[in-house]
Structure 1
């Protein structure tokens, strides 16, 4: 079931109920998803060099909230991250904003999201430098999520960390021993203090929050499972169209995996409420939801190479995949790109 079909069906009801809350980014997402892979998005001309057959295909919208787009970008990102994988234990640290800050975050999304990611990365850098066993610089890949598995508004930040640090002055790699990195409760105490201070310095009205915040720090094995988990949510929006099960009697049912039990669950909502549930996770324009730090940063390639040499990492097998080949419908030979046309080019 396509999200665009549901938008067409329930857009009027959505506007009647949520027009006052829809942000410009969400309206742009609606427009992009509706025109995706239609003539309204423009067309691409393909040519077969074997049989000279020509083909016009509607263009994808390319919007990062569209579940039908960005599959190749996800594959490319995962391939790039695989080239950075190290033969060490990996950890995932999750920093979650308390429920009391969700209204503030919604009203100032870009600013609070930036503060969240900066605070989380800064805390982990500090813990790694001050740790008696490590005392060095860590590498991190951070991804912002605004949703729970039920698609409720639930801002949090996942950070994947290879288990080791670099001492720049000594040009030395030090490996984390065992499957323990940092204490989650200790991280949470510092997270609360730094985040509240950052919000106050930004001039935002900070409500009362609980004394205990939540930070989870867990081992995730050799890194590949964590990367694959994150890759699902990078470019394809918050829900896969395969998760949308039914649209009956004005209600939409979708499937999700419950985090505690790991069991599949379903949730049913009126069509307009379902669309709002999805659209509230459209990120501000230009916001970078994926960020690398430390020796995994793009400007630290030499430092990463030093770590890879020390650990005798072989990266030749991790090559970025090419875009899937579009076969000719007549002879199955690969079609060649000729030209992209803007919407309305025929009438012009």
Structure 2
């Protein structure tokens, strides 16, 4: 299977020589290039019964690497299980208009923080309005910056438990198939974001703000999930996703990359797109986040402060089973992912592989 790593191996150096790149892009490229290679070291598993031996090299653990997210995703999902409530959950998506793309890309850290703030405040303020819910809610928000064709498309996915706590600390439930009106969400989000954008960037052109204000912004709300278990798996699909997975890359020929993408404007049909390797690398690196930026955030009673009291009260009022979290070991998570214990020989089934450390090669 072709990988992003292969494209970087063949065309990455030429790309570096012809482009001025920020240090965070260099770090991401280096991490992906070295991922699961001898350059990072690893270990050698040897079966004392049949003699079979196989090297396994260390992962780079970079959050933009397509090969390093599976175990991180499972760890994150396991940590979230104790926060789930016995209620329905809504999936709400907030998207910024493409007219703002240039400004946002040039000021990623500030604009992404502003996006999170406006999304959370929009949901919390409308939910607090007695006309809609009259309650304090919780939500988990995840930033994505890409479209299916690797274009720059910043948007936030929110997973919101149905209902919340009113001012008396009593449970208020959302309607079964309704959370908040999409038009109200869209217009409040639009007004809030543009007002704060103008305040934070006073030099922004007024014609750009007027253009964005005169169009409807896209906010989408899906029906609630049936069970809490569905929420966990669904969250995992979004929290640790990278711009493109390796299984979508089809061909690398004559300096051109072909990958498949889903066209949501054409009945979700799968299509193929072919672009130059240089353009592929450019698009991929557009989605490398600023250093230290948190792309997963929790608000309301799911925030660090809210969990201490309000989330516990929500659990009691919704009949959610209270249990202490037992953190799964790496071996348990790997067994779940591999379908077998990592200590079992794949050739003869003997449980007791001998592991020898492989040190990375010395560099000059």
Which deviates more, 46-55 or 149-158? 46-55
**How do 1:98-177 residues align onto structure 2 when only pairs under 5 Å count?**
98-167=97-166, 169-177=167-175
Which deviates more, 309-318 or 290-299? 309-318
Unaligned runs of 5+ in 1: none
- SS of 2:25 mapped into structure 1: helix
- Note closer, same or farther for the CA distance 1:165–1:45 as it changes in structure 2 (3 Å cut): same
Q: Given that residues 180 and 218 in structure 1 are in contact (C-alpha distance below 8 angstroms), is that contact kept between their aligned partners in structure 2?
A: no
Q: Given that residues 49 and 350 in structure 2 are in contact (C-alpha distance below 8 angstroms), is that contact kept between their aligned partners in structure 1?
A: no
- SS of 2:290 mapped into structure 1: coil
User: CA–CA distance in 1 between the matches of 2:43 and 2:151?
Assistant: 37
User: CA–CA distance in 2 between the matches of 1:159 and 1:336?
Assistant: 45
- SS of 1:232 mapped into structure 2: helix
Residue by residue over 1:288-326, the C-alpha shift from the partner in whole angstroms, topping out at 9 and shown as x without a partner, is: 000111112233143222212222223669976533142
User: CA–CA distance in 2 between the matches of 1:225 and 1:262?
Assistant: 22
Which deviates more, 252-261 or 99-108? 252-261
Count of residues in Structure 1 that have an aligned counterpart in Structure 2: 343
Match of 1:273 in 2: 279
Q: CA deviation at 1:201?
A: 2.6
Match of 1:305 among 312, 320, 323: 312
User: What TM-score comes out, normalization by structure 1 length?
Assistant: 0.87
Within the alignment, does 1:93 sit opposite 2:92 as a pair?
A: yes
Q: Given that residues 143 and 230 in structure 1 are in contact (C-alpha distance below 8 angstroms), is that contact kept between their aligned partners in structure 2?
A: no
Compute the RMSD of aligned alpha carbons: 3.0
Within the alignment, does 1:294 sit opposite 2:297 as a pair?
A: no
- Note closer, same or farther for the CA distance 1:344–1:219 as it changes in structure 2 (3 Å cut): same
User: CA–CA distance in 2 between the matches of 1:47 and 1:215?
Assistant: 54
Residue by residue over 1:12-66, the C-alpha shift from the partner in whole angstroms, topping out at 9 and shown as x without a partner, is: 443355x13x322111110000111112223347688999999763211000111
Unaligned runs of 5+ in 2: 335-340
Q: CA deviation at 1:193?
A: 1.9
User: What TM-score comes out, normalization by structure 2 length?
Assistant: 0.83
- SS of 2:140 mapped into structure 1: strand
Q: Given that residues 71 and 236 in structure 1 are in contact (C-alpha distance below 8 angstroms), is that contact kept between their aligned partners in structure 2?
A: no
User: CA–CA distance in 1 between the matches of 2:231 and 2:275?
Assistant: 30
Q: CA deviation at 1:253?
A: 1.2
Q: Given that residues 50 and 333 in structure 1 are in contact (C-alpha distance below 8 angstroms), is that contact kept between their aligned partners in structure 2?
A: no
